Chain A
Amino acid sequence: MKPIHAVFALLLCIAGITIFVLLSDPPPSATGVSHPTVNGMSLGGDGTEKLSSIGRAPYYFQIAVILLAGSLLYMGIPAHRRDRLLRTWFAVGLAFAIFVWISLYTGYESYLQTGQTKIVFGFPVPTNWMFWGIWGSFVAFDLFYVFTFRRYFLHPDDEAAFHQLVKDCEAERGDD
């Protein structure tokens, strides 16, 4: 399967989930409720009720988005540079990103059921997964770019080929 086919399939999955959400009947507090006394501020309302019509749609939506992001990033690496190590890294990186998301979402669901959560580093646990996990899971891809730059992103042979292309184009245009 070519990466573009994976991208297209995942976009269709995301569109399907989005259409399902758009067609569902949103509860009154779906996007929060106005604070009774503070102007311009909203409250969350009943979190369980918010999800009553759409169930776990957000959960599957974000898994598809993570896989889509991974497929797009994979497309950015020249086809002739894609090797087994790269595929392994992408599998591990995306598995980690999905693990973070599952930890976040199940932590949030647990809070909705019990009303209890621990505070770590100043914030509730699911919020920490969002701050550091969601951000950090793609920082891992940023670091991969830095550390494997010459292997996958600008291989010396590709750089030389580009300089040759510039020379060819200049010669064709009759530049000095």
Chain B
Amino acid sequence: MEEFRQPIILGFVALYMGICIWVGLWAMRRTKSAGDFFVAGRGLGPWVVSLAVFSSTLSGFGFVGGPGLVYATGLSSIWMAVCSALGFATGYYLIAKRIRMIAEVRNAMSLPDIVFARYGSEAARLLTAGTILLGVLGYLATQILAMGVVLQSILAGTEMFADISLLASVVISSTVLIFYCVTGGIVASVYTDLVQGIVMIIAGALVVITAASVFDGGFEQASSILLANDGEDVMPFGTLGAMASLSWYFLFGLGLAGQPHVATKMMMNRKLSDNQAILPMTVFGYVIAAMLWVSVGIIMRALVLGDVALPLSGADEAAPAFLSTYAHPVLAGVVFAGLFAAIMSTADGFLNIGAAAIIHDIPKAIRGRSLDNELFWARTATIVLSVVAASIALFSGQLIALLGAFGWGTFAAALVPVVLIGLNWKQASARAAIAAISVSLLINFVIQLWQIHIPYNISGGFLAMLTSMILFIAISMMEKPKPLPKDIDRILEL
């Protein structure tokens, strides 16, 4: 079977992409309005929402970048994953119910709609939409680039496509993504997320079993090798140290609920009571899939430090090298499909909220109403956004790094105080929201633009988030409380 490794992998990836296209066609029949396109008419069941929430959270970073980080720096980055139980808890304790209630009462279609409903400020809506658009462009560009690189590495292993270019690989993979996002909108996005989530869970579970069998003594032998060679790497804070690890825990644990592509999905469930089932399924799915992150990274590091395998050319090679050397071809096929699933499930969420920002939120903030024929413009904006992001990914050079930094940290720093605290504290004010978003953007931009090195590798996103949270509460406390609209006031009581 080994001689058919590449065709088998390619077959699984092709099958997965075929399913995505089929879902897109199926979802097109269910997408009749902008409400269907952006929030699925708030009619999704708990299984779909839970898998959509977890698969959107775990992007391609978790499947490629995560193992690479463990290979390079030991267990420091695992703090980004072990915080998931706290992250989902904050999401469901603090925002899931209220965001869904406001969405129904105000017919909200996006997070900026929620922000406007809460604060009654078009400036806050515009800043939220602008933050989302900036973050989406950066995040989406990196996801599209990752898709292209992975597809190129798979196709280059076959005779027929040995010389395929990165451009062609980006075009092929983006076409599938654009197709199902344009035809089926968020309905296609969440139902492909369902498939993607299942593939990721299966891939995560199978990889752990495979990784445990690479050394005769399993993970215990791998840990012994690492303890003998370095020691710090397999201890809780890895090679980067305690402050770097703990700042990631703060940023990723408390920042999860501020991720707009995750929070938006909390508006889509059919019934409020579904949240009771959605939370545990989300936590369970995430932890199984994230096991790939730690197991592959640890094993590859132990193999290299134990002189069993040659050093890798780059840290991001950890997962592909593991799969091509130690995984059964069928498992490699499932995991590569899982990798595409991880990337696409995040990218489609970004496309959806980015399109909403362009055709719904920004026009509403500027001229008081959204565009006419929103469904048509939503589809057009999805295509335009994809093409712009793909162009940034391929041709921008430095810009992608700058925009890429406008990812998780930016969303967390800008939106956590505004959404997470604002939906649970009546005194929170519009002025505080505007200040928190503006200052967090400024801090993130300055750190990235001037490449400021922060001692102990403390995360810049953490510093921005901490500052914006303090500022948000301080300004709100200093202001005289203003009465809220009746409906929002009643929702904040529930």
Contact = CB atoms under 8 A, between A and B. Distances in A.
Chains A and B come from one and the same complex: yes
Interface of A: 4, 7-8, 11-12, 14-15, 18, 21-22, 24, 26, 30-32, 37-45, 47, 50-51, 54, 57-58, 61-62, 65, 68-69, 72-73, 75-80, 104, 108, 111, 115, 117, 119, 121-124, 126-127, 129-131, 134-139, 141-143, 145-146, 149-150, 153-154, 158-159, 161-162, 165-166, 169
Nearest to B494: A158
Interface string B315-333: 1000000000000000000
Interface in B257-291: 272-273, 275-277, 279-280, 283, 287
A41 B94 contact: no
B250 to A, nearest CB: 6
Contacts of A159: 272-273
B214 interface: no
Interface string B419-442: 011001101000000000000000
B236 A108 contact: yes
A39 B313 contact: yes
A138 to B, nearest CB: 4
B457 interface: yes
B246 A65 contact: yes
B219 interface: yes
Contacts of B73: 32, 42
Interface string B463-494: 10011011001100100000000010011011
25 contacts: A15-B467, A26-B455, A32-B240, A38-B305, A38-B311, A41-B315, A45-B232, A58-B242, A65-B249, A69-B86, A69-B89, A72-B93, A75-B94, A122-B220, A122-B222, A135-B82, A136-B85, A138-B86, A142-B85, A142-B88, A142-B283, A145-B89, A149-B275, A165-B490, A166-B104
Identify which of B219, B424, B490 gathers the most chain A CB atoms within 10 Å of its CB: B424
Nearest to A97: B86
Interface string B229-268: 0111111111111111010011001100000000000000
Nearest to B473: A8
B234 A165 contact: no
B71 interface: yes
A30 B241 contact: yes
B121 interface: no
B366 interface: no
A40 B15 CA distance: 35
Contacts of A62: 246, 249
B94 A124 contact: no
A47 B88 CA distance: 32
Nearest to B87: A138
B75 A127 contact: yes
Given A31-B456, A41-B304, A65-B250, A143 B280 contact: yes
A3 to B, nearest CB: 8
B253 to A, nearest CB: 7
B398 to A, nearest CB: 21
A18 B466 contact: yes
B276 A44 contact: no
Contacts of A4: 421, 425, 427, 473
B236 A14 contact: no
Given A22-B455, A73-B90, A77-B93, 15 more contacts: A21-B458, A26-B455, A30-B241, A40-B312, A72-B420, A124-B235, A136-B85, A142-B92, A146-B280, A149-B273, A153-B92, A154-B273, A154-B275, A162-B272, A166-B104
